[in-house]
């Protein structure tokens, strides 16, 4: 079970949002590069970056700090990034900078042809991010609930060749009230590619619950607010996950 620290970037700072609301941001550091180095030193084996400004603008907005983060840790651990990735040129630019995986979310739902092309052009390096509420996919910063069932879309994108699926229960993200284990497992069981859980991770009991279902295809979990506010000691949590996964 891979625990993946999240670094959400807004105006060059490391922040966390509650339920995706840009105006409800808590700033945790004005030096995201130092934050990335900290999680590396704590034993992280992958990092999750989000360009929040980019997600809302539809194009990269935190390029300089992303480049600096990759310069600091990119040679030592894989880094995945989402937010504002809408064309193949942007993907190529990020991968050339040293990014390991790009995450395509809203654009995958709105323009599935783009996701298909990205998987063809950059095999093994495209992750799809699906945000859902009550099993239905949400887009546009969670402002709109579509009529797409998350399992149906995930199966289609699996056929395109995506590396894995990041599944976020938007009712729980940033609220620290537990991971939606049942929905995550249900999705993982429907797929042959790995699922990464996101949203709601709050304590070691959540880690134990996720490790118990790792064999169903749940590869890892992204953690944000809990590791910044002290609800989870990251190094201890990853050690626990390793012990439970042996």
- Crossing angle of helices 63-73 and 88-97, in 10° steps, is 40
Concerning whether 131 is annotated as a catalytic residue, the answer is yes
Taking every pair of Cα atoms in the chain, the longest distance, rounded to a whole number of angstroms, is 43
Length of the chain: 246
Concerning whether 30 is annotated as a catalytic residue, the answer is no
Cα–Cα distance measured from residue 75 to residue 93, given in angstroms and rounded to the nearest whole number: 17
CB–CB of 166/130 below 8 Å? yes
> 41 vs 54, 55, 224, 232, 235, CA distance in Å?
28, 28, 16, 16, 9
CB–CB of 153/137 below 8 Å? yes
The catalytically annotated residue of 8, 51, 169, 206 is: 8
Token pair listed for 162:
């995506």
Burial (CB < 10 A; 0-12, 13-18, 19+), residue 205, is: exposed
The catalytically annotated residue of 87, 89, 120, 131 is: 131
User: What residues are labeled active site?
Assistant: 8, 131
């Amino acid at each position: 079970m891979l625990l993946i620290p999240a670094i959400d970037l807004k105006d060059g700072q490391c922040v966390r949002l509650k339920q995706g609301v840009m105006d409800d941001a808590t700033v945790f550091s004005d030096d995201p590069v130092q934050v990335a180095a900290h999680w590396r030193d704590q034993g992280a084996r992958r990092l999750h970056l989000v360009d929040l400004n980019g997600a809302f603008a539809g194009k990269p907005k935190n390029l300089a700090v992303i480049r600096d983060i990759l310069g600091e840790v990119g040679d030592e651990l894989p880094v995945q990034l989402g937010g504002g990735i809408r064309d193949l040129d942007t993907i190529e630019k990020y991968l050339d900078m040293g990014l390991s995986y790009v995450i395509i979310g809203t654009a995958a739902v709105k323009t599935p042809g783009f996701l298909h092309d990205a998987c063809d052009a950059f095999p093994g390096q495209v992750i799809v991010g699906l945000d859902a509420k009550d099993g239905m996919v949400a887009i546009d910063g969670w402002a709109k609930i579509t009529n797409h069932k998350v399992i149906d879309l995930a199966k289609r994108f699996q056929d395109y060749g995506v590396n894995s699926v990041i599944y976020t229960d938007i009712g729980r993200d940033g609220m620290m009230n537990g991971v939606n284990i049942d929905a995550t497992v249900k999705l993982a069981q429907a797929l042959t590619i790995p699922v990464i859980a996101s949203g709601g991770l709050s304590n070691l009991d959540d880690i134990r619950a996720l490790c118990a279902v790792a064999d169903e295809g749940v590869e890892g979990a992204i953690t944000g607010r809990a590791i910044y506010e002290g609800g989870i000691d990251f190094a201890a949590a990853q050690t626990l996950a390793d012990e439970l996964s042996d």
